[in-house]
Amino acid sequence: MTELKYTLIADGSSDKNLIRIIDWSLNDLYPKIAIESQFADFRNLQKPPKDLKSKIKMAEQLFPFQILFLHRDAESHDIESRKLELDKQLTPEIKAVTIPIIPVRMMETWLLIDTDAIKKAAGNRNYKKSIQLPTLKMLEKETNPKSILHDLLKEVSGLKGRNLDKFNPHETVHLLSENIDDYSPLRSLDSFIDFEKSLKKIMSTFLS
């Protein structure tokens, strides 16, 4: 069986949730490949790297990879400008094995797709009210998907008062990504289409 070892360098620690999405896509497209995924977490280093070039160099030492996933939220930028921004910082050798992953506008956009998973993550599977998610057609037009997601998780939790104050939506988002079994709805989003296009291109070289 072919084995693939990859590393994700992301904007922040919460974006580790993208590992789940990357793994899903790889397993769906290449079911016969064994995957070993790594998140490049530099927070505990005495001198964490600051710029992208330093992060990549450190990742090569601490989280060696065959393929590198580079995450940047699109935020107010378009996907192509973000990709160009990344490309300028890559050596030809690294660029040849790098897949950009650029959600519009941010990572949380890709998690607003599954009401059952939201119930499970919020710890309230028996939540009876209707959960209003943005339609897939409008999802990438939402200006603050993180706020939408956090508010939904708080509401669905059913918690009140002090218990709600203790509720940590950031931790719950990790549970949400783990509870989504099918990310195929994302294949109607421009950002995910672009991601899988880049993935297939790099993988075709890797498998050749």
Residues 86, 14, single domain; the answer is yes
**Residue 46 belongs to domain spanning:** 3-104+189-207
In a domain? residue 114? yes
pLDDT in tens, 87-132: 999 999 999 999 999 999 899 999 999 999 999 999 999 999 999 9
Residues 22, 116, single domain; the answer is no
Residues 20, 94, single domain; the answer is yes
> Domain with 100 in it: what CATH number?
3.40.50
pLDDT in tens, 37-46: 999 999 989 9
Residues 86, 135, single domain; the answer is no
Residues 67, 52, single domain; the answer is yes
Residues 88, 116, single domain; the answer is no
String of DSSP letters for the chain: --EEEEEEE-SSGGGGGHHHHHHHHHHHH-TTSEEEEEE---TTSSS---SHHHHHHHHHHHS--SEEEEE---TTS-HHHHHHHHHTT--HHHHTTEEEE--SS-GGGGGTT-HHHHHHHTT-TT--S---PPPHHHHTT-S-HHHHHHHHHHHHHT--HHHHHH--HHHHHHHHHHH----GGGGGSHHHHHHHHHHHHHHHHHH-
Question: In angstroms, what CA-CA distances link 21 with 27, 93, 162?
Answer: 10, 25, 33
Residues 122, 38, single domain; the answer is no
Percent of the chain with pLDDT over 90: 92
In a domain? residue 26? yes
Residues 57, 90, single domain; the answer is yes
pLDDT in tens, 69-91: 999 988 878 899 999 999 999 99
What's the structural domain count of the chain?
A: 2
In a domain? residue 184? no
Residues 73, 23, single domain; the answer is yes
Chain centroid to Cα 54, Å, comes to 21
Does the structure show a pLDDT above 90 at 7?
yes
Residues 10, 93, single domain; the answer is yes
pLDDT at residue 76, rounded to an integer: 78
